[in-house]
């Protein structure tokens, strides 16, 4: 591997993951070309909520990695990189039926086992924290150490003031290899020669890696309201319904399922979502899905009836067949690293995963254990007779 001061890396995809990798590669002295078919944060990163949440993760590697990823946000905030963009706030996991209460309790136990602080909150206390909460809420847990950041703001901050050569409207069509080693990227009719390549192209990674059967687009529609006030978040935490957990834990797999979250933004607005629509990669919103999201949201938090809906939007998550991201070296091509499949967790995991991919591209070990995410699960190594 060339030294970090002479290596040229092509990063495909300027979402939060590619931007993070580009940032940390450039900081280590590498020459970096960042290619995007459109522009920075044009994909899921620019059309998402920003829960930097351990509370929402499946037990196992995702919960563990999210704890590292959230700590990475906190460190970047402390050291100045994410100053003013990452905000600590609680997540409230809320149940509206006895079955949901069991699920929330089980999830709370899993979080506590992973080392997370978890508090049971009775209805009276919750009403003080979230005045107006719906009558159907019968049980809740507070996870006080979560946070929030907007993906497009983080992406912009990661790229600002770096030496990264950002190429907009530059769709990669092929990874070019020679004798088992990466040689560059085909962009339209040109070859961009590179010593190493990172594929961090969200759902656009599928054709580049031959993962069309493995990576699934999962559309999510969301709603943005006007401001409830102008002095910061309107409620004292992020409301996450058990329906969201049920989807994350694989208990509910209905296409079109609404996994409800109500996120109070720093602006005083609410971000409310979202649908989970498999095999949908368009960005349209429709009245019946938006109505279903709002019905659920009004049941959980009736004061939303006072708000104006400013707009709705849709983003496309990239889900893998086994529900885990795909991060690590490509098993067949030296110099090629993959970081995709972050589904609804890439704002949380993205900065750390990008930094980890940068280390791999520089021939270093990542700071966290990525073995559960290894591309070998889906991309087989060459078999020699
Ligand atoms: C509705 C919704 C809500 C969400 N809420 C949260 C949340 O609360 N918390 C959380 O952690 N995550 C959330 N997510 C998930 C998160 O947004 C994604 O996991 C994350 O943004 C993925 O980042 P990425 O960099 O991997 O991909 P993307 O942001 O999709 O970026 C990929 C980039 O690659 C480019 N590209 C594609 N193909 C090519 C090509 N051939 N050549 C060059 N460029 C290419 C695209 O233009 C795009 O800019 C949500 C997602 C959605 C849709």
> In CATH, what number is assigned to the domain containing residue 227?
3.30.9.10
Residues 210, 221, single domain; the answer is no
Question: Does the pLDDT value for residue 269 go beyond 90?
Answer: yes
CA 138–ligand 1 middle distance (angstroms): 35
Q: What are the φ/ψ torsions at residue 129 (nearest 5 degrees)?
A: -80, -35
Q: pLDDT tier at 341 (50, 70, 90 boundaries)?
A: very high
The reported pLDDT for the residue numbered 258 is 92
Q: pLDDT tier at 318 (50, 70, 90 boundaries)?
A: very high
The reported pLDDT for the residue numbered 364 is 97
The reported pLDDT for the residue numbered 229 is 83
Which distant-in-sequence residues (6+ apart) come within 8 Å of 80 by Cβ? Answer: none
The reported pLDDT for the residue numbered 28 is 97
Residue at 17 is within a domain: yes
Report in angstroms the alpha-carbon separations of 28 from 32, 198, 366: 11, 16, 14
Task: Kindly provide the b/e burial profile for residues 194-219, where b requires at least 16 CB atoms within 10 angstroms of the residue's own CB.
Answer: bbbbbbbbbbbbbebbebeebbbbbb
CA 204–ligand 1 middle distance (angstroms): 10
Secondary structure string (H, E, C) spanning 252-290: CCCCCEEEEEEEECCCCCEEEEEEEEECCCCCCCCHHHH
The reported pLDDT for the residue numbered 301 is 97
Half-sphere exposure of 72 (CA within 13 A, CB side): 23
Q: How many Cβ atoms are within 10 Å of 298's Cβ, its own excluded?
A: 14
Report in angstroms the alpha-carbon separations of 132 from 235, 272, 305: 10, 17, 11
Residues 166-184 have pLDDT tens digits of 999 999 999 999 999 999 9
CATH number reported for the structural domain that contains residue 171 in this entry = 3.50.50.60
The reported pLDDT for the residue numbered 4 is 60
Question: Does the pLDDT value for residue 353 go beyond 50?
Answer: yes
Residues 190, 331, single domain; the answer is yes
Residues 315, 332, single domain; the answer is no
Half-sphere exposure of 5 (CA within 13 A, CB side): 0
Is the CB of 12 within 6 Å of ligand 1? Answer: yes
Is the CB of 261 within 6 Å of ligand 1? Answer: no
Number of domains in the chain: 2
Q: pLDDT tier at 252 (50, 70, 90 boundaries)?
A: confident
**What atom in ligand 1 is closest to the CA of residue 315?**
53
Domain limits for position 264: 90-140+215-320
Is the CB of 38 within 6 Å of ligand 1? Answer: yes
Average pLDDT over residues 377-382: 81
Q: pLDDT tier at 255 (50, 70, 90 boundaries)?
A: confident
Residues 96-128 have pLDDT tens digits of 999 999 999 999 999 999 999 999 999 999 999
Question: Does the pLDDT value for residue 1 go beyond 50?
Answer: no
The reported pLDDT for the residue numbered 385 is 46
Find the distance separating the first CA and the last CA of the chain, reported in whole Å. 27
- 181 touches 348 (CB < 8 A): no
The reported pLDDT for the residue numbered 5 is 62
Residues 223-251 have pLDDT tens digits of 999 999 877 899 999 999 999 999 888 88
Residue at 1 is within a domain: no
Residues 36, 105, single domain; the answer is no
Q: Examine residue 274 and say whether the peptide bond preceding it is cis (omega within 30 degrees of 0).
A: yes
Residues 21, 165, single domain; the answer is yes
Q: pLDDT tier at 382 (50, 70, 90 boundaries)?
A: low
Name the H helices within 283-362.
287-300, 346-361
**What atom in ligand 1 is closest to the CA of residue 205?**
38
Residues 331, 312, single domain; the answer is no
Question: Edge-to-edge, what's the strand order for the sheet holding 181-187?
Answer: 172-178, 181-187, 190-193
Question: Does the pLDDT value for residue 50 go beyond 90?
Answer: yes
Residue at 239 is within a domain: yes
- 380-385, Cβ contacts within 8 angstroms, sequence gap of 24 or more: 380/331, 380/332, 381/331, 381/332, 382/180, 382/331, 382/332
Which distant-in-sequence residues (6+ apart) come within 8 Å of 237 by Cβ? Answer: 89, 90, 91, 92, 129, 130, 142, 264
Q: Which of 300, 320, 340 is the last residue of a domain?
A: 320
**What atom in ligand 1 is closest to the CA of residue 222?**
1
DSSP character at residue 25: H
């Amino acid at each position: 591997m060339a030294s970090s001061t002479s290596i040229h890396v092509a990063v495909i995809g300027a979402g939060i993951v590619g931007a993070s990798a580009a940032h940390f590669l450039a900081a280590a002295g590498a020459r970096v070309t960042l290619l995007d078919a459109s522009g920075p944060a044009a994909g899921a990163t620019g059309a998402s909520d920003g829960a930097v949440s351990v509370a929402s993760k499946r037990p196992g590697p995702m919960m563990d990695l999210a704890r590292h990823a959230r700590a990475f946000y906190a460190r970047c905030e402390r050291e100045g990189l994410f100053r003013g963009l990452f905000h600590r706030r609680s997540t409230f996991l809320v149940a509206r039926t006895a079955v949901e209460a069991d699920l929330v309790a089980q999830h709370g136990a899993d979080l506590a086992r992973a080392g997370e602080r978890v508090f049971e909150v009775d209805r009276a206390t919750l009403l003080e924290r979230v005045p107006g909460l719906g009558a159907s809420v019968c049980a809740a847990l507070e996870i006080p150490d979560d946070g929030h950041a907007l993906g497009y703001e983080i992406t912009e901050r990661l790229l600002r003031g770096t030496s990264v050569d950002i190429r907009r409207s530059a769709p990669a069509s092929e990874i070019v290899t020679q004798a088992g080693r990466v040689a560059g990227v085909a962009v339209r009719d040109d070859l961009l020669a590179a010593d190493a390549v990172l594929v961090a192209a969200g759902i656009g990674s599928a054709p580049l890696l031959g993962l069309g059967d493995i990576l699934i687009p999962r559309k999510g529609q969301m709603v943005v309201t006007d401001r409830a006030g102008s002095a910061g978040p309107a409620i004292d935490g992020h409301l996450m319904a058990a329906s969201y957990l049920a989807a994350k834990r694989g208990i509910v797999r209905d296409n079109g399922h609404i996994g409800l979250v109500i996120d109070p933004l720093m602006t005083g607005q609410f971000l409310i979502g979202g649908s989970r629509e498999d095999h949908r990669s368009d960005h349209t919103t429709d009245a019946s899905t938006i109505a279903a999201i709002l019905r659920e949201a009004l049941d959980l938090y009736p004061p939303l009836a006072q708000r104006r809906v400013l707009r709705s939007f849709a983003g496309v998550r990239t889900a893998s067949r086994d529900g885990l991201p795909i991060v690590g070296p490509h098993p067949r091509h030296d110099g090629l690293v993959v970081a995709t499949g972050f589904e609804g967790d890439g704002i949380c995991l993205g900065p750390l995963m990008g930094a980890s991919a940068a280390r791999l591209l520089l021939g270093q070990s990542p700071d966290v254990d990525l073995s559960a995410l290894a591309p070998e699960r889906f991309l087989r190594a060459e078999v020699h007779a």
